[in-house]
Amino acid sequence: MSILVMKFGGTSVATLDRIRRAAKRVGREVANGHDVIVIVSAMAGRTNELVGWVEETSPLFDAREYDAVVSSGENVTAGLMALTLQEMDVPARSWQGWQVPVQTTSAHASARIEAIPPENIMAKFAEGMRVAVVAGFQGISPEGRITTLGRGGSDTTAVAFAAAFGAVRCDIYTDVDGVYTTDPRITSKARKLDRISFEEMLELASLGAKVLQTRSVELAMRYKVKLRVLSSFEEPDETAGTLVCAEEDIVESNVVAGVAHSRDEAKLTLTDVEDRPGIAAAIFGPLADAGVNVDMIVQNISEEGMTDMTFSCPVNEVKRAEKAMADAKDRGEIDFGALVADTDVAKVSIVGIGMRSHAGVAAKMFKTLRDEGINIKVITTSEIKVSVLIDRKYMELAVQALHAAFGLDRAA
Ligand code: ASP
Ligand code: MG
């Protein structure tokens, strides 16, 4: 017996009609001989609505109750999907996270899956159930409370089930037909990738290519889960979607696999910071404690024992960062001249495992931006990625130019 995991995102279960369409696909896989675990998201827009209700009711909400509320959208679609399958004479049953149970940490609103004991579901498969429809995004804490996995978390549910059940594959049905070389809304020359490595996908996911939750890619890499991203609006064939797989399974690839962007970035500079051992810890410790997701960091050249420290973070975390720095200054932990925030920046990145073995990739990126007259404000690199911060108004232009320069444009 082979188990297949099929995950349907919010747009794929947005209406009863779409649930029926999705159920038909599931029915086909059952007819192909698979036992199927279906992971569902909430109907499109529902989770946002639930989050809104929580925030309106209680601005400083108790995260346990937030989870109790926002997890409910998936309960609805799980039950509806099971009913739809039953109407098609496919033996199906729905499962909420706690019933499986999907055991998670107690970090409410951003819990991690610790274990998924397969026994309960396997026992039902043994009795003739062919489809287990599981509510994504949710689990149960050691204290017995409902948890959620962070926004986009049903991708992670799906991969975790594929790992726990040794599934032949994990198919993620979404509203795009795969992973693209860049955002098709920015350039019509973006191309769908047939394959991409886990490492590249991880960089693209965390860089704002919102196809998969980052955590789901990490899990897939760790447990070698074959992950396929495909559209629920098109008829699947052999080449449908994008396979996210191990590097060894990619025969030939471009040096740069994709160009990613992240629009809502901010650049913050602390001026006149004392250049002494421990200063970075004194700055970034309080920022981390305040929940500021610092991305790029640059320490400028030191002059007479003083330096400037520049970092970037999401634009909606600037206020928190400013407060954390002001508080640390008040406590006497750090001293600085000013905190200068530039909230009109965007990040553009090139990603590709081919960079490991090719020289001159970064230089080509910088030349391309120069030719477009785009000024680079901050640069960071990793083994398979180069990122730059630029003025937000040039973001589209930068993505288009880099996409062309690295040979990613679709042939006209
Ligand atoms: N419904 C949840 C969200 O919108 C989880 C998911 O769809 O992955 O974040
Ligand atoms: Mg999603």
Ligand nearest to the CA of 174: 2
Backbone angles phi, psi at 113, to 5 degrees: -75, 130
The binding-site residues of ligand 1, defined as CB within 6 angstroms of any ligand atom, are: 9-10, 41-42, 47, 73, 136-137, 151-155
Ligand 1 pocket test, pick from 154, 172, 212, 232 with the greatest ligand atom count within 8 Å of Cβ, gives 154
Give the C-alpha separation, 356 to 306, whole Å.
Answer: 36
Give the C-alpha separation, 99 to 59, whole Å.
Answer: 30
Residue-wise pLDDT tens digits, 247-267: 888 877 789 999 999 999 999
Judge whether residue 208 has pLDDT over 70.
no
CA 47 to ligand 1 centroid distance, Å = 6
DSSP-derived secondary structure letter, 137:
T
Nearest CA to ligand 1 atom 8: 152
CA 272 to ligand 1 centroid distance, Å = 43
Tokens in use for 337?
């001249």
Q: Which atom of ligand 1 is nearest to the CA of 48?
A: 4
Fold of 3-175: Carbamate kinase (3.40.1160)
pLDDT at 77: 98
Judge whether residue 289 has pLDDT over 90.
yes
3-class DSSP state of 382: strand
pLDDT at 303: 84
Measure CA of the first residue to CA of the last residue in the chain; give whole Å: 45
Nearest CA to ligand 1 atom 9: 151
Ligand nearest to the CA of 153: 1
Q: What is the pTM of this model?
A: 0.85
Of the listed ranges 28-32, 125-129, 274-278, 342-346, the least confidently predicted one is 274-278
Q: Is 397 left (phi over 0), alpha (psi -120 to 50) or beta?
A: alpha
Q: Which atom of ligand 1 is nearest to the CA of 150?
A: 9
CA 329 to ligand 2 centroid distance, Å = 40
Confidence of residue 234 (pLDDT cuts 50, 70, 90): confident
- Which residues lie below 8 Å from residue 105, measured CB to CB, with a gap of 6+? 111, 112, 114, 141, 142, 147
Confidence of residue 237 (pLDDT cuts 50, 70, 90): confident
Going from N- to C-terminal start, the domains of the chain cover 3-175
Q: What percentage of the chain has pLDDT greater than the value 70?
A: 100
pLDDT at 409: 95
Give the C-alpha separation, 199 to 194, whole Å.
Answer: 15
Judge whether residue 23 has pLDDT over 90.
yes
pLDDT at 12: 96
Give the C-alpha separation, 245 to 252, whole Å.
Answer: 13
Residue-wise pLDDT tens digits, 329-361: 999 999 999 999 999 999 999 999 999 989 899
Average pLDDT, the chain: 94
